[in-house]
């Protein structure tokens, strides 16, 4: 950890950073929280480990919305954060010159949703880690788990644990922890009958309370006014009618098609542990296979849905 | 469901498909009366949300028709639309919505005959599917409840 702090201090001076977005220890065990550092002296508070699940690219947009001159921002970036930053730059949301991407090797982060599920309402006071196993200690209980049971689903199928584009890289590049085919869950699910699939999605989305945490956590949901909030015209009902809710989820996926970097921020933010990634992952697969595009890998390629190819397949059109 | 007459929402681009429909009309070509036409400037104008909204309101099917690739009045509107529709179709089918509910076609201003064939084909396939059940908003299904013609 000292290496991180030391190097950040150096980068701070070298790049004349005015703001650094990173992680610090949270108030609860196994939770890290974003920190905004304006002077190199505060760099001692920085950490980076498997608890740092937030996608920090989201905060670049807040810096932009702050008004006034945009400061020079350094950002600690796992593979997915870095891809989100790249995608935001490609979309013209942030100037490349104003952001310094500081890559860190990511060996998977834990999903607070999964942790919540495992604890089912109980609180932990402490934890111990032994290789791949972890023991969660609380009042009157001990829970021993495999670390992979707590890792985010995105991490378990991650192809880019290291930033594909960066200005600095601290540490040795990590190997992806996901050895499986990243679309296994999607392919398995697709073998079910259409009615079974529909029932699954209806059941999942019926849990939704329309808190929009998934939207607010997503680095790509930066519309000034979201279509669900609009009243003229009113696109969807604002209640928790299932049909309206499903439309919200479909459109959210359509809007992030070809832009989603599968960081899992939406799934981690969901207080009801809805399977938000499934539909998005299928669309991501289609974008990759049909248009040959993967979001956030370089600064030059135009996003799939912002461009076209005259020879795109059109087998579905009469 | 033998005598089910579906209502099908049809988005036609102003420059090709709408003119194609017009040609079918003036040429007295017969086709099923199940479609309701909305004229749009370009197939690229069709937001996937329009299509979802139609399904939500109880339309049994939705057809979007535009100019053939290369013929777009706005040069590239239908190319962009094609990408959007491919993604929408993937998402809907993955969720378990019948593929025939949402269909797309290219019809030029000279293809009155093709227009009638497309409408017949879409109507037939939607008839087989029966009334929409998935995604329909129960309290607001003016179409399925027969309040709107």
Which residues in A lie closer than 8 A to residue B44 (C-beta atoms)? none
Distance from CA of B119 to the nearest CA of A (A): 11
Respond yes or no on whether the N-terminal peptide bond of residue B144 is cis (omega within 30° of 0). Answer: no
| Identity of the residue in B52, B86, B136 whose CB atom sits nearest the CB atom of A251 | B52
Q: Output the CA angle A197-A209-A88, nearest 5 degrees.
A: 80
CA distance B66 to B63: 10
Q: Output the CA angle A112-A118-A119, nearest 5 degrees.
A: 90
Inter-chain touch A254–B48, beta carbons under 8 Å: yes
Query: Taking a C-beta distance cutoff of 8 angstroms, is the pair B89, B99 a contact?
Result: yes
Residue A65's pLDDT is what? 87
Query: Taking a C-beta distance cutoff of 8 angstroms, is the pair A40, A12 a contact?
Result: yes
User: What is the predicted ipTM?
Assistant: 0.89
Query: For residue A191, what is the nearest residue in chain B, using CA coordinates?
Result: B94
- Tell me the average pLDDT across B31-55: 94
Distance from CA of A243 to the nearest CA of B (A): 5
- Tell me the average pLDDT across A35-39: 92
Residue A199's pLDDT is what? 94
Query: For residue A314, what is the nearest residue in chain B, using CA coordinates?
Result: B82
Residue B141's pLDDT is what? 45
Residue with tokens 């033998």: B2
**B 128-147 → A contacts, CB under 8 A:** 134-140
- Tell me the average pLDDT across B90-118: 94
Query: For residue B56, what is the nearest residue in chain A, using CA coordinates?
Result: A243
- The pLDDT tens digits for A61-98 are 999 888 888 899 999 999 999 999 999 999 999 999 99
Query: For residue B103, what is the nearest residue in chain A, using CA coordinates?
Result: A317
pLDDT over threshold 70, residue A100: yes
Which residues in A lie closer than 8 A to residue B82 (C-beta atoms)? 308, 312, 314, 317
Inter-chain touch A254–B106, beta carbons under 8 Å: no
**A 223-282 → B contacts, CB under 8 A:** 227, 235, 237, 241, 243-244, 246-247, 250-251, 253-254, 257-258, 279, 282
Run of H or E including A312: none
Inter-chain touch B85–A250, beta carbons under 8 Å: no
**Domains of chain B in sequence order:** 8-140 (3.40.50)
| Identity of the residue in B48, B82, B118 whose CB atom sits nearest the CB atom of A318 | B118
Residue A179's pLDDT is what? 60
Run of H or E including A259: none
- Regarding predicted confidence, which is higher, A283 or B147? A283
Inter-chain touch A286–B48, beta carbons under 8 Å: no
CA distance A48 to A226: 33
Q: How confident is the model at residue B1 (pLDDT cuts 50, 70, 90)?
A: low
Query: For residue A256, what is the nearest residue in chain B, using CA coordinates?
Result: B87
């Amino acid at each position: 950890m000292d290496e991180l702090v030391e190097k950040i201090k150096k980068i701070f001076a070298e790049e004349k950073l005015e703001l650094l977005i990173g992680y610090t220890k949270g108030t609860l065990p196994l939770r890290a929280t974003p920190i905004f550092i304006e002077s190199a002296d505060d760099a001692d508070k920085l950490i980076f480990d498997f608890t740092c699940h937030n996608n920090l690219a989201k905060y670049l947009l807040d810096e932009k919305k702050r008004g006034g001159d945009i400061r020079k921002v350094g950002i600690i970036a796992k593979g997915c954060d870095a891809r989100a930053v790249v995608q935001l730059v490609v979309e013209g949301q942030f100037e490349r010159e104003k952001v310094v991407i500081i890559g860190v090797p990511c060996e998977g982060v834990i999903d607070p949703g999964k942790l919540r599920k495992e604890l089912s309402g109980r609180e932990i006071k402490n934890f111990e880690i032994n290789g791949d196993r972890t023991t969660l200690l609380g009042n009157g209980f001990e829970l021993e788990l495999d670390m992979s049971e707590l890792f985010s689903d995105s991490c378990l199928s991650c192809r880019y644990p290291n930033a594909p584009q960066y200005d600095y890289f601290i540490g040795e590049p990590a190997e992806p922890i996901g050895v499986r085919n990243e679309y296994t869950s999607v392919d398995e699910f697709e073998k079910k009958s259409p009615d079974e699939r529909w029932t699954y999605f209806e059941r999942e989305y019926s849990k939704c309370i329309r808190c929009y945490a998934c939207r607010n956590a997503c680095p790509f949901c930066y519309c000034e006014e979201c279509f669900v909030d609009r009243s003229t015209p009113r696109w969807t009902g604002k209640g928790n009618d299932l049909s309206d809710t499903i439309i919200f989820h479909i459109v959210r996926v359509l809007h992030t098609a070809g832009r989603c970097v599968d960081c899992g921020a939406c799934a981690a933010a969901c207080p009801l542990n809805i399977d938000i990634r499934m539909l998005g992952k299928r669309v991501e697969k289609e974008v990759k296979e049909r248009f040959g595009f993967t979001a956030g890998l370089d600064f030059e390629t135009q996003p799939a849905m912002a461009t076209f190819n005259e020879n795109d397949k059109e087998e579905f059109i009469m | 469901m033998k005598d089910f007459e579906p209502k099908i929402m049809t988005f036609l681009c102003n420059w090709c498909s709408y003119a194609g429909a017009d040609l079918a009309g003036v040429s007295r070509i017969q086709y099923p009366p199940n479609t309701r036409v909305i004229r749009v400037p370009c197939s690229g104008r069709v937001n996937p949300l329009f299509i979802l909204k139609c399904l939500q309101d109880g339309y049994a099917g939705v057809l979007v028709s535009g100019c053939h690739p290369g013929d777009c009045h706005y040069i590239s509107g239908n190319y962009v639309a094609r990408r959007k529709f491919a993604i929408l179709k993937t998402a809907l089918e993955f969720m378990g919505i019948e593929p025939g509910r949402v269909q797309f076609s290219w019809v030029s201003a000279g293809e009155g005959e093709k227009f009638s064939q497309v409408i017949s084909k879409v109507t037939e396939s939607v008839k087989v599917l029966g009334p929409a059940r998935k995604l329909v908003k129960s309290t607001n299904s003016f179409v399925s409840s027969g309040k709107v013609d």
